Structure 1
Amino acid sequence: MDDKRNQIIEAALKRFSHFGIAKTTMSEVAEDLQLSKANLYYYFPDKFSLIEAIAYRIIDESDTTVEKAFGEAKDTLDLLFRILDMKKAYFEKYYMLTLNLHEMNINEDKWKGLAKNLFQREVDTVSRVFKQGIARHELVTFDVASTSELYVSMMRGLAMFCDRATPLALIDRDELARMFEKQKQAAAIIINGLREKE
């Protein structure tokens, strides 16, 4: 990756994570790097393209952690738990950025496209988990594609509301921990229902 592009992504990620997306301007990102606005717009023609690059950077970074989990997990449920722990760590690390992304205007086609791509990446990862479980004879054979999509939708549904139906944007760290515990409970129910009977 181009060094300058990489530096811009890093600077924007710091600003977005600290001040939020809405309160960060492209001019401030340029100033942080002592870069002209024209030079910044050469790499990222608008704020959305910069946000999109950051989203994919975080996903690529998390993919490395997921690959490690695939090699270390003792079984399917342990692997799903490790992935949830990784998501919790990333949510905490990029708290302000994550909350802001939930508040963006997803009615615009560009946001819909990004949301669809991120959802599909998650589904693809879960599909790999389930296929590995089937190949190891831990899980019964089932429709992996539709079950993976259902699993991701369920986990996202649990993430939208925590205790007392608190919107995600208002949760504190304790509620965040409870939310991830609920996701683990749901994962255990699903995997226990799909286990090969001995």
Structure 2
Amino acid sequence: MVDDKRNQIIEAALKRFSHFGIAKTSMSEVADDLKLSKANLYYYFPDKFALIEAIAYRIIDESDAAIEKAFDEAEGTLDLLIRMLEMKKAYVEKYYMLILNLHEMNIHEEKWKTLAERLFQREVGTISRIFEQGIARNELVTFDVAATSELYVAMIRGLAMFCDHAAPHALIDRDEIARIFEKQKQAAAIVINGLRDR
């Protein structure tokens, strides 16, 4: 019952954040959507950041099944990396307004840095699994998986920040998402071609 109510709050907040934006949504509005008292809402989520954090982990959990399916179906390391990029692109398109709003939040606060670091490390972990599988299948040469995975994730994220922009963190419009995705695919191919066991 507690989990059901918590999930209902996350769903309602995700819908409202995605439509109106994070900054323009109050906790009272989320409570009103569910006909909850503010006190009841704050019982589950003490502040807006706690709700945003729960949404971030909900989206990650949602992607886990798709990631496992990709591991089962992909034909090699490059195919798997491209599937990861396709998933990321689909989530950026699906949660575009939410992601846009996160750029406006104060990411210099310690709680934001901690969340960003957790999400980064989770992504690095997935890429490490992909590289380790490639090495185990003798598709890739042996290399420092941890360091290379971190570098790969930073590079892919860097392309999203700088692609077609003179400055990082410039807001990306929907048309640019496809162009960034193509450049990320090209970068993934360059990395894997350099790591192939010839």
Same fold (TM over 0.5): yes
Give the aligned partner of residue 70 of structure 1. Answer: 71
Query: What is the RMSD computed on CA atoms of the aligned residues?
Result: 1.2
Q: Does 1:87 align with 2:88?
A: yes
Is contact 1:160–1:168 with CA below 8 Å preserved after alignment? yes
Distance 2:172 2:143 in 1: 36
- Paired residues for 1:134-149 under 5 Å: 134-149=135-150
Give the aligned partner of residue 108 of structure 1. Answer: 109
State the shift of 1:175 in Å.
1.1
State the shift of 1:103 in Å.
2.3
Distance 2:93 2:18 in 1: 10
Closer, same or farther: CA 104–185 of 1 in aligned 2, 3 Å: same
Is contact 1:130–1:144 with CA below 8 Å preserved after alignment? yes
State the shift of 1:106 in Å.
1.4
Give TM-score, length-normalised by structure 2: 0.96
Give TM-score, length-normalised by structure 1: 0.96
Distance 1:68 1:90 in 2: 16
What amino acid does structure 1 have at the position aligned with 2:131? F
1:1-60 CA deviation, whole Å, 9 max, x = no partner? 710000000000000111111010000000000000000000000000000000000011
Distance 1:170 1:102 in 2: 8
State the shift of 1:174 in Å.
2.2
Give the aligned partner of residue 166 of structure 2. Answer: 165
1:53-99 CA deviation, whole Å, 9 max, x = no partner? 00000011111111110001000000000010000000000001011
Aligned length: 197
1:131-151 CA deviation, whole Å, 9 max, x = no partner? 000000000000000000000
State the shift of 1:170 in Å.
3.2
Give the aligned partner of residue 192 of structure 2. Answer: 191
1:105-161 CA deviation, whole Å, 9 max, x = no partner? 111111011000000000000000000000000000000000000000001100112
Distance 1:126 1:196 in 2: 18
Distance 2:167 2:178 in 1: 14
Q: Unmatched 5+ residue regions in structure 2?
A: none
Is contact 1:160–1:167 with CA below 8 Å preserved after alignment? yes
Closer, same or farther: CA 139–62 of 1 in aligned 2, 3 Å: same
What amino acid does structure 1 have at the position aligned with 2:122? R
Is contact 1:99–1:169 with CA below 8 Å preserved after alignment? no
Identical amino acids, percent of aligned pairs: 81
Distance 1:171 1:48 in 2: 23
Distance 1:129 1:3 in 2: 34
